């Protein structure tokens, strides 16, 4: 029997920590022109309005002088139209590769340190892989 056979809670905690950390992802937003939305049809964009507010617009499309799409509200998508005159910037999400690599490396090192410390503590307390002798 190995160390983790007796510590299923620890395994779950590590799995949840890794999933939460890595699923949040390292995303940065890059400003684009309205023509990018028309040409590339991104799933969503972050729009900064002239009054400083931001909106996540899903399935955006530029039509005339409007940015049309949907906004998440209460678990569903509702239609949204924003006049381009009220739009300061449109930005699309991009994966920040360096940040992601550093995050994965940091989390991996932290997990290894915790596992090593707990393994050492288990051995110090008399636990071994040979039936506790």
44-49 β-sheet, strand order: 27-32, 87-95, 44-49, 54-63, 66-73, 76-83
Whether pLDDT at 1 is above 50 = no
119 contacts: CB under 8 Å, gap ≥ 6? 3
Domain boundaries, the chain: 1-26+96-133, 29-95
Residue-level pLDDT at 100: 66
| CATH code 1.10.3720.10 for 29-95 | no
pLDDT tens figures, 70-108: 999 988 999 999 999 999 999 998 876 676 677 777 777
pLDDT tens figures, 20-46: 666 656 778 889 888 888 888 899 999
Tell me how far apart the alpha carbons of residues 105 and 100 are, in angstroms, rounded to a whole number: 9
Beta-ladder partners of 70: 58, 79
Q: What is the pTM of this model?
A: 0.56
């Amino acid at each position: 029997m190995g160390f983790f056979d007796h510590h299923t809670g620890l395994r779950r905690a590590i799995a949840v920590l890794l999933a939460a950390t890595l699923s949040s992802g390292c995303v940065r937003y890059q400003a684009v022109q309205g023509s990018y939305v028309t040409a590339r049809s991104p799933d969503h964009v972050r729009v900064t309005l002239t009054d400083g507010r931001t909106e996540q617009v899903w399935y955006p499309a530029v039509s005339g002088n409007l940015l049309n799409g949907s906004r998440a509200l209460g678990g569903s998508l509702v239609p949204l139209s924003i006049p381009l005159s009220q739009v300061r910037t449109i930005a699309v999400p991009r994966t920040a590769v360096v940040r992601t690599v550093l995050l994965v490396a940091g989390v991996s090192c932290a997990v290894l340190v915790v596992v090593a410390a707990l393994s050492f503590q288990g051995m110090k307390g008399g636990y071994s892989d040979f039936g506790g002798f």
